[in-house]
Amino acid sequence: MTKHEEKTVEPRVAAIGDTSRLSPELRRAFDPAGDYEPMPDPGPSDWLANHPEKPQSYADWLNKDTNVPGPQRRIIYLLPIGEFPPSAPSLPALTKIVHAFFTLEVKVLPAVAVKDVPAKTRINPSTKKRQLLAPDVLRWLTKRVPDDAFALQAVTMEDLYPEPSWNFVFGMASLSERVGVQSFARQDPAFFGDAREAGWQNVALRRATWTMVHEISHMFGLTHCVYWKCVVAGSNHQAEADSRPLHPCPVCLRKLHAAIGFDPAAREEELAKVLRDVGIDDEAAWSEHRATWIRTGQPSENSKP
Ligand SMILES: [Zn+2]
Ligand SMILES: [Zn+2]
């Protein structure tokens, strides 16, 4: 590569880092190859217009002292807080998705009652519904991380807020303490008094998946992605979250790969199966297509999303 060409590499491609010494499969795994959309310029209410983020390239992440799973500490635990109606996003489905996404064992802990979680609450002025202060929940979670846990992600039907000046938050995680919490409350149209249209539970599962893999990715020291439309990018509102895919971009995938050490093609194949199984078909097709590309360097005939 000449000096001139080096200068014209897009920052989002440069952030992936040098892959020239990797195996052909790994090189393809981190090659965007037309399968990822660049992060669009934010609209006025979008995340990046309101929360400017310091970009974190793969090299930046490597230089940080981050938590990675070790032989004694590699289980992802999900902790239900409070009761869940039968219509809530399915924990068994989320368990399978998170297992396929991170390739780590996932276990669900016995549920804890909301009253046993020492978190400040308030009544949200616009919804008139109770909310828990998420940082209080995170602080409580740090004392409950099992010895063999890499990560502890709490899930609840209670609505959450991150600080008094904010309206709500879908979820929140600590980048250093390996804990996170997310709410399913806003994934039910009934929360807003709206009608539950056909297929709403599938949408709710997709949204719960987005928040769950997003928060758990933070626990590997990944900060919000600014490079591509990516599951690790920040999101200010539901429409913005819905416009994002459920998969990580090549920059974020490379960080997770370095932290966990999976086979990227096998990971996409397993993820595709699980996503088909739970009815998230567009992402399943994307993973099938991507697995074929990583294995063969040829785009697949049928599964192009
Ligand atoms: Zn986040
Ligand atoms: Zn990313």
Strand, helix or coil for residue 54: coil
DSSP string computed for 254-289: HHHHHHH---HHHHHHHHHHHHHHTT-HHHHHHHHH
Give residue 302 CA to ligand 2 midpoint distance, Å: 26
In the 8-state DSSP scheme, what is residue 212?
H
Is 6 tagged catalytic?
A: no
Residue 7: what pLDDT? 60
E strand or H helix that includes residue 253: helix 250-260
pLDDT in tens, 163-182: 999 999 999 999 999 999 99
What are 184's two structure tokens?
A: 């399913």
What are 214's two structure tokens?
A: 């997003």
pLDDT in tens, 57-84: 999 999 998 999 999 999 999 999 999 9
Q: Is the pLDDT of residue 34 over 70?
A: yes
List beta partners, residue 39: none
Residue 239: what pLDDT? 87
State the residue for tokens 């390739």.
103
| Amino acid, res. 126 | S
CA angle 198, 199, 204 (to 5 degrees): 130
Quick one: which ligand is closest to 47's CA? 1
Name the nearest CA neighbour of 251 among 36, 20, 24: 36
Q: Which of 37, 105, 215, 288 is catalytic?
A: 215
What are 177's two structure tokens?
A: 């303490």
What are 261's two structure tokens?
A: 């050490």
pLDDT bin (cut points 50, 70, 90) of residue 302 is: low
Give residue 102 CA to ligand 2 midpoint distance, Å: 15
pLDDT in tens, 115-134: 999 999 999 999 999 999 99
Say how far apart CA 64 and CA 286 lie, in whole Å: 31
Give residue 54 CA to ligand 2 midpoint distance, Å: 13
Quick one: which ligand is closest to 252's CA? 2
Residues 6+ apart with CB under 8 A from 102: 76, 213, 216, 256, 260
Give residue 249 CA to ligand 2 midpoint distance, Å: 4
Mean pLDDT, to the nearest integer, of 99-120?
98
Q: Round the average pLDDT of the chain to a whole number and report it.
A: 94
